[in-house]
Amino acid sequence: MVVGQIEVDRLFQALADATRRDIVRRTIDDSFSISTLARDYPMSFAAVQKHVAVLERAGLVTKQRKGREHLVAGNVAALNAAHDALDRLELLWRDRVARLGDLLAADLDSTP
């Protein structure tokens, strides 16, 4: 899954909140109605609904209508995209640190 910068930003903005991370964690293995999710948080149903909407816009969860309820399910592919983005950043910074180390070592070698 190739993800552009805007999508990556949206993923990490959604994951920046502890409640949203918990909702994603809970919905990866099973689907829950928003009302079931809301029972476990010290906030209103509407607030949980807003958190779910942020996660849905980021692609981290999907909602499916079942009767009167909307079931929320986690999207593993989106989590994998976030993981891949972090892996790319790690490689970038490891490369930069290695090059910095090479420059410092070269500087020490050339010092009289």
Q: What is the pLDDT of residue 90?
A: 93
Q: Which CATH class name applies to 5-110?
A: mainly alpha
Burial class (CB in 10 A: 0-12, 13-18, 19+), 105: exposed
51-99 pLDDT, tens digit per residue, is 999 999 999 999 999 999 999 999 999 889 888 888 988 999 999 999 9
**Section 31-42 average pLDDT:** 96
